[in-house]
Amino acid sequence: MITKSPKLNRRSFLVGSAAVGGGLMLGLKIPFGTSVVRAADGSPELNAWVVIRPDDTIVVRIARSEMGQGTLTGLAQMVCEELECDWSKVTTEYPTPGESVKRKRPWGNFSTGGSRGIRESNEYVRKGGAAARMMLIQAAANAWGVPASECTAANSVITHKPTG
């Protein structure tokens, strides 16, 4: 009869889980319809990372797990920095693997390990935020009939520099 409890630390658990999960993984090609996906609540999506809701809140989608290392917050802050938005209006959500397949994997893989969440995601997350900012500036410039180069974004507000 064994009376000792096995000791299992977090790292051993994650390595063991990855080994078992990798051993059970199957490759499937699942056909989906169109690659255009709207936010569940119908809010306009600027891209795969940014959704702006009618109440002026911003949803940032992050495809890395939060395991106590600040990955979720850090990546969301990178998007906000590029988007030039008010951090108090930001929430985060995880995209589903089905959304990722439907969109041809814009978020890359969903794995998080070895403290690489921010290191492996920062470039495309920043580009997603910057692209969203440029789209918003261009839309405002079009609405105002001015060149986009005369507009700036700061603290969730787009301003036409010459007229303020």
Q: What is the CATH number of domain 35-135?
A: 3.30.365.10
Span 136-158, pLDDT tens digits? 899 999 999 999 999 999 988 99
Vertex 26: Cα angle to 23 and 31 (nearest 5): 160
Tell me the Cα Rg of the chain.
20
pLDDT greater than 60 at residue 6: no
pLDDT of residue 107: 54
pLDDT of residue 119: 79
pTM greater than 0.85? no
The domain ranges of the chain are 35-135
Residues 119, 97 contacting (CB under 8 angstroms): no
Span 17-43, pLDDT tens digits? 444 444 333 333 333 333 334 455 556
What are residue 132's DSSP bridge partners? none
pLDDT of residue 148: 95
pLDDT band at 49 (very low <50, low <70, confident <90, very high): confident
Which residue in this structure is represented by tokens 């998080």? 112
Closest CA to 158 of 91, 87, 89, 85: 85
**Per the structure block, which two tokens stand in for 59?**
């949803």
| CA–CA distance, 127 with 47 (Å, rounded to integer) | 10
Structure-derived torsion over alpha carbons of residues 156, 160, 161, 163, reported in degrees to the nearest 10 = -130
